[in-house]
Structure 1
Amino acid sequence: MMDMNEAGEGVDAGIRCYRDTVPPFVEEALTGLYDTLHASLPFFRVYRSLDAVSCYIAERDGRPSTILLFRCEGRRIEVLNEMIAIDQPELRRFARYVFHYYPEVDLIGFKALKTTTPGLGYPVQQHNAKDTYVIALPDTPDAYLASLGKSTRANIRQQTNLVNRSFPSFCTRFYTGHEIEEAHVRAILGFSEEKIKAGGATIAHDLERIMALARACGYVVVLFIDGQVCAGSVNYWVGSSVFGDVTGYDRSYEKYSLGKLCVFQTICESIARGARRFYLGGGEFDFKGRLNGVALEMDEVRIYRSRWRMLVNLDRAAEAVLKARVRQLKKRLHRHKQHLLARMAFRLFYLLKGRAAH
């Protein structure tokens, strides 16, 4: 049942809130406003639940300026949108609305947000939580190749020529939507898991969910040698942006750098199909910078109704401090990931994470 509130006197006008429902028009509006996977309905349907989710819409000059999907969990509002930017006036506007119409709520939580909070008017905890690397794409694949560093261009040409000379049957295919074959995706995920396992960690990709999202907005690249999958990548297309998820390659072709060639070909094909941005995902790896990736940092943000309510929720405040310390440690370890102690720490982390998942 739709229950829509409109802000009146005492709260900024031009705000609508659909309680416990997400109206159909929001899917296109979210894409137009944020152009990002982690604030899109296809992603929410597969990796989140839309049960009991409400939709906040604020307008400026007759157009949506902020659209936030959120769930009320007891005395807390949890925002689903991630990897988005909100300026401080719009963030304050949302906080004022929530604390006015949800008098039982003590705090509002964002998992990955780019914003500024000093002077917001409410007690806030903010710490770095996620990152990704994004490439601003030029108009043509040739222009992209020309924009790369001299050694990177030479390496790409050398590896491409080597694999073509060694394997005349080598070819690349691109699939979208219902063209995507589960067997191809399964092979790519298997290659990725094998490489991660060789590095001392363990991961099991969720094939069912990845396939569901791929069928909804996927963009899969598959490299073949003698008709067999030798590498590939699973990506998602939202608006004018492509988001890289999983890249894998058969390790018996290690010397041909098929993984990096796959990423390069995916970027070039994305440009040819009209993409304006390509997201390489998180983690500090040198090749992302060499491909013109620029780091985009996002913060976890918690906004409290008052200092008293922050004290009442001291356990949650302490949890945020702990998460900030763990995040700092992980980033430090990434910067020294070749060091033995760093490798041991990551193995322990993935071991504990795997046990927690089971």
Structure 2
Amino acid sequence: MNQTLAIILYIVIGLAVVGGLIPVFLKARKNTQNYTGPRDANDPAPVDSAGTGTLLEDRPGAQAPPSGMETSGLEAQGVDTAEPAAPAAPALEKPLPVEGRLVRLRARLSKSNNALGKGLLALLSRDTIDESVWEEVEETLLLADIGTDSTMDLVDTLRERVKVLGVRSPEHVQAMLREELIKLVDPTMDRSLNIGRHDGRPAVLMVVGVNGVGKTTTVGKLARVLVAEDKDVLLGAADTFRAAAAEQLATWGARVGVPTVKSDVDGADPASIAFEAVKAGIEQEVDVVMVDTAGRLQNKVGLMDELGKVKRVIEKQATVDEVLLVLDATTGQNGLSQAKVFSDVVNITGIVLTKLDGTAKGGIVVAIQKTLGVPVKLIGLGEGADDLAPFDAENFVDALLS
């Protein structure tokens, strides 16, 4: 009898233990599922992208389940499990109008330490102008990289005018210098950019130059100039040799809503990218396609030949309307030798002169135009995104003599 009671007691205890474990087991089953593949797009509980089988609603910070479903332990503890809102798209920048840039750049140049204008004014305003003064005038002009021929012409003209007029007041000297310097800079040259659609196709601009002069930055800044003029622009990242050049260009474009055609493969064929960029521009009916090219030394024949290839490939489907050579104004006569080589290879149509901050090297404007017959079309005077503006001969000289 006692044995029978003991057996019954063991059975009761066993049932009690099993009854207590069943809810625990069932609760554990509610929070696990086997991962059998991607869920349907409408499933409110997406699977972890890592493919671990963990459900997003079971992790901190995951999306809360729809109404009617069991809440997780985190919600019960007061932890916010709602999915964070997607970040808003950054607002596009609005480039400054071109007219405002000209005023600002002129003011910056006039305040800088320009040796050309100030030096000449100081020399020619002396009470006595003898041969030693004219020698200093020549030296000032040569140091400004105006060039030997232009220097001699300007000195001879100034010498004759001072002799004839017989007056050297600051006002007269400034007026005289202004006239002669404007003649040297040559306001008659066509400095407009060919950026109009023609024959049902966009205008195509190539930007070239040696390493380190800021071609990619110049393309980005020029895109802002064109956007400010309500042009529809597309960029081609054909600089495939410099690390991150394509991403840098795409970033410039994205700031003003301009798309960029680029390759994600290092060392891709630049001519192919240029071709695809122009093709996309034609298909999308944009106004202007600008192609950024890799920097290259002018004495490297293979690289220069490749640049010619890029232009020839583009011309299989569209004309190249502008080939802009980017030069650093501080390089002086070295910039002139660069321009000669690039002009022979791709027929330069215009110069973009950067770092023209009033240094003596600004005289390269005169030298390069006189040697190549190619106008300076754009100038840069700072690091800002809108510090690029069309070059104007009279504004440039007036800033020097301010």
TM-score of the pair, normalised by structure 2: 0.24
TM-score of the pair, normalised by structure 1: 0.26
Higher strand share: 1
Higher helix share: 2
Structure with the greater alpha carbon radius of gyration:
2
